[in-house]
Structure 1
Amino acid sequence: MAREFYVVVERDEDGFYVGEVPQLRGCYAQGRTLDELMSNIREVIELCLEDEPETAAVLPEFVGVQKVVIP
């Protein structure tokens, strides 16, 4: 059974891409490129699910990210 997870991606001060899966506690990875990050985060998701399969919380559906500009 395929499961879907959302990955929140940011770029740190060193230029690395950092991804976190909010549905899984402590599930994050990094990579020099987006491709490397996504490969790494897939591995981490699998490890998180092996260690604690019941930790995959049912969270509300991800809606999106909004940008707010304050003049």
Structure 2
Amino acid sequence: MFKTANAQQTKSTYFPFTTGQTPYIYSVKIEPDEDRFYAEIPSLPGCYSWGYTFEETLKNIKEALELYLEVAAEDGRPIPLDDPYTIKQAPLTIGVIV
């Protein structure tokens, strides 16, 4: 099971995790699209979502990230990592603890 950390709009992130858990941080792009918002995690092909509000979209992309990583782990695929420079420059990041 994955724990989701809060989205961060600052350059620092705090993850309360225990030994054996690994934090993963990804940059997120959320953009308005007509009457809704569209979100994607550029470093994870196919990991995207949408919502009618910014908050709903953020919640939905967190769920999409959790599912993406869960399926990758179940299939034995390596979990792609976001580039540290990309994370540092990103205005919005989200993280999960595995």
Please state which band the TM-score falls in when normalised by the shorter chain.
0.7 to 0.9
- More relative contact order, 1 or 2 (CA 8 Å, 6+ apart): 2
Deviation at 1:55? Answer: 4.4
Q: Deviation at 1:58?
A: 4.2
Matches of 2:82 and 2:41, distance apart in 1: 12
Q: Does 1:8 align with 2:29?
A: yes
Tell me the percent identity: 33
Matched positions, count: 64
What is the CA distance between 1:60 and its match in structure 2? 5.6
Partners in 2 of 1:64 and 1:46 — Cα distance? 20
Relative to the length of structure 2, the TM-score reads 0.56
Structure 1 unaligned residues grouped into runs of 5+: 66-71
Matches within 5 A, 1:35-50: 35-50=55-70
Structure with bigger gyration radius: 1
Give the Cα–Cα distance (whole angstroms) in 2 for the partners of residues 16 and 25 of structure 1: 21
Q: d(CA) in 1 for partners of 2:54 and 2:36?
A: 9
> What's the secondary structure of 2:58's corresponding residue?
helix
Runs (4 or more) in structure 1 with deviation over 4 Å come to: none
With normalisation by structure 1, the TM-score equals: 0.74
> What CA distance in whole angstroms lies between the structure 2 residues aligned with 1:12 and 1:58?
25
Q: Give the CA RMSD over aligned residues.
A: 1.9
3-state SS in 2 of match to 1:25: coil
Kindly indicate which of the two structures has a greater share of residues assigned to strand.
2
The 8 Å contact of residues 24 and 55 in structure 1, kept in 2 or not, is answered as no
- Unmatched 5+ residue regions in structure 2? 1-21, 92-98
